[in-house]
Amino acid sequence: MNLPDWVGDVARYMLEEGLVNTLRIAGISLAGAVLIGVTLGTLMTIRFLPLRGVIRLYIEFWRGLPILVTIFIIYFLLPAVSLSLRFEALTAAAIGLILWGSAQVAEATRGAVQSIPREQHEAASALGFGWVGRHAFVIMPQALRRLLPPLVSLLVNIIQNTTIAQVIGANELLESGERSVERLTAPPPIGLGEIHSFEIYAAVMAIFFVISFPLTRLAAYLEKRLI
């Protein structure tokens, strides 16, 4: 069965542009969120109230602010403050997701570190480890094991939330689907003059499902095995 020519063109555009950009945003966002979140979450366990208060403010602010508002602040407000703070749409979306994701990771890391029995801390101290060595070699390896399921779930949420980047024109998967619909709906010679929105948006839905479903199952499996 031969498929219409437009199917191959749309599929190639959505996969090579939209899906690649979606995965790029998700990868950068997850890496940044983990790096910042694990650091802040670990520092939250220090008994120094001013530091804990600042980190707690960071966590509550970015967790409480809608991701869309965060992206608007980065993409529209910051350039109005300084032109040096102007970011491309994909970059602005990634920064917004990093801020939101790092707050989630920080809270999860704090809980994971505090769940490690106090005897582990005392044993590491008895071996001569200071705070840094104790956490680097004894506490964090155990805490990161408990963090794996939440991190996989966070990746699913980040991938799904990349669609928010569409509102600022970032060419992620959903935006590439919408552009394909508009291009095909346009009258000849630009487009076909035909409406194929159902097929295209169904393909977008299917791609997100194919990516997200295995990750959600993986998160559930890891939660049973590691926690």
Residue 24 to residues 64, 91, 93, 120, 172, Cα–Cα distance (Å): 25, 10, 11, 38, 9
Query: Has residue 1 got a pLDDT over 50?
Result: no
Q: 179-222: per-residue pLDDT in tens?
A: 888 888 877 766 666 778 888 999 999 999 999 999 999 999 98
Residue 146 near residue 115 (C-beta atoms within 8 A): yes
Q: 123-176: per-residue pLDDT in tens?
A: 878 877 787 888 888 888 888 888 999 999 999 999 999 999 999 989 999 999
Residue 181 has a pLDDT of 87
Distance in angstroms (rounded) separating the CA atoms of residues 10 and 177: 8
Residue 193 has a pLDDT of 66
CA geometry: angle 23, 37, 224, nearest 5 deg: 75
Residue 107 near residue 126 (C-beta atoms within 8 A): no
Average confidence score pLDDT of the chain: 89
Q: What are phi and psi of 54, to 5 degrees?
A: -65, -45
List of domains in the chain: 5-226 (1.10.3720.10)
Distance in angstroms (rounded) separating the CA atoms of residues 163 and 5: 27
